[in-house]
């Protein structure tokens, strides 16, 4: 495993981080079902592999992901991991801007000081911990002043309830503004071979502030793991059924991308996932690779991507082969 400091903090994090979105289940992940004992085994394997960084959020399964982690992190596991969750999205019905309806809940986005404090209190209970290593603003919002949002976050740092601050689903100018009021250790943003433009635009600003860029969606919810995955169908409500990769002509272009990558898997003795993840890590210094794990073999395979160093020619070949399938904006 490789490690990196998160932003300008002293938090030493594994380059591969454990994503907790999928373990929340619900209609958004219709084929995921992880129990506490399953998660305990996954966390023990993560520790054995050197992964020491977990990401979750209150809305992942409307509390389910945090609750499962709270149970699974008992028996001494909590001390082995940096634990990151989020604030701003909640289903309490006490204010905020409408964000979505799902599984019988209305989720609002609220970055006010009072909402952030309540979010943290709720997460600490679900996660059964006294502190969070990182708290990330899940969706940056202009309805409340950044000064108010950062003020609340900095107060929580002073109180010892959180150790560092991050933002997500933001723009480079948001990071500039947040940095006027405090230090942002991390930005968590969508970036992939099929949707690279947001990240490419963001990298210079993140580098300017020495802020870690944590990638989510590098494998596009599985669509970049194998050619046959592109041909799958998903039930209504499943996040994968809303992505553009299931429609022509993009679907056909992804199959052509796999045709280009196939000989490279043989050259580097690796999986398609390894190629895509290695390409992702080479796009900017200090990228943190956030990947969802519900199966041990996926975790082991992801860690193997750290051993691959693509040649410049091969990285360019992959990037160019993906261009016919790329989209400029992606809403998950």
Predicted confidence (pLDDT) per residue in 176-207, tens digit: 999 999 999 999 999 999 999 999 999 999 99
User: What is the per-residue pLDDT for 30?
Assistant: 58
Query: Is residue 1 over pLDDT 70?
Result: yes
The domain limits of the chain are 3-224+277-310
Q: 3-224+277-310 architecture in CATH? A: Alpha-Beta Barrel (3.20)
Catalytic residue, chosen from 60, 229, 268, 272, is 60
Helix 64-72 vs helix 36-49: crossing angle, to nearest 10: 70
Hey, what's the torsion of the CAs at 38, 41, 47, 48, to 10 degrees?
-140
Q: Per-residue pLDDT tens for 37-60? A: 999 999 999 999 999 999 999 999
Mean local confidence (pLDDT), 103-114? 96
Whole-prediction pTM: 0.95
CB contact at 8 A, 132 and 144: no
Separation in Å, CA 214 to CA 17, 55, 116, 249, 319: 9, 10, 22, 30, 20
Is residue 60 part of the annotated active site? The answer reads yes
* pLDDT interval class at 241 (50, 70, 90): confident
Q: Per-residue pLDDT tens for 217-230? A: 999 999 999 999 99
């Amino acid at each position: 495993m490789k490690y990196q400091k998160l932003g300008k903090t002293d938090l030493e994090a594994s380059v591969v981080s454990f994503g907790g979105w999928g373990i929340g289940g619900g209609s958004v992940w219709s084929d995921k079902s992880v129990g506490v004992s399953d998660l305990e085994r996954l966390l023990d394997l993560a520790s054995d592999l050197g992964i020491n960084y977990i990401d979750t959020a209150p809305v992942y399964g409307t509390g389910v992901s945090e609750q499962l982690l709270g149970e699974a992190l008992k028996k001494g596991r909590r001390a082995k991991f940096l634990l990151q969750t989020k604030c701003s999205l909640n289903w309490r019905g006490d204010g905020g801007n409408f964000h979505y309806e799902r599984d019988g809940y209305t989720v609002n986005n609220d970055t006010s000081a009072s909402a952030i404090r309540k979010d943290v209190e709720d997460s600490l209970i679900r996660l059964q911990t006294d502190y969070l290593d990182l708290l990330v603003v899940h969706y940056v919002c202009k309805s409340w002043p950044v000064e108010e949002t950062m003020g609340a976050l900095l107060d929580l740092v002073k109180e010892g309830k959180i150790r560092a601050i991050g933002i997500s689903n933001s723009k480079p100018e948001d990071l500039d503004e947040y940095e006027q009021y405090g230090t942002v250790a991390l930005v968590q943003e969508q970036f992939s071979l099929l949707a690279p433009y947001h990240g490419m635009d963001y990298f210079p600003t993140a580098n300017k502030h020495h802020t870690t860029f944590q990638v989510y969606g590098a494998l596009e919810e599985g669509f970049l793991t194998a050619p046959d995955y592109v041909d799958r169908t998903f039930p209504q409500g499943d996040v994968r059924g809303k992505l553009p990769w299931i429609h022509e002509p993009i679907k056909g272009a992804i199959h052509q991308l796999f045709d280009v990558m196939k000989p490279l898997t043989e050259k580097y003795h690796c999986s398609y996932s390894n190629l895509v993840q290695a390409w992702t890590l080479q796009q900017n210094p200090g990228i943190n690779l956030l990947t969802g794990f519900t199966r041990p073999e996926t975790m082991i395979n992801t860690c193997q991507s750290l051993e691959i160093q693509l040649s410049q020619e091969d990285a360019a070949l992959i990037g160019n082969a993906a261009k016919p399938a790329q989209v400029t904006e992606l809403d998950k």
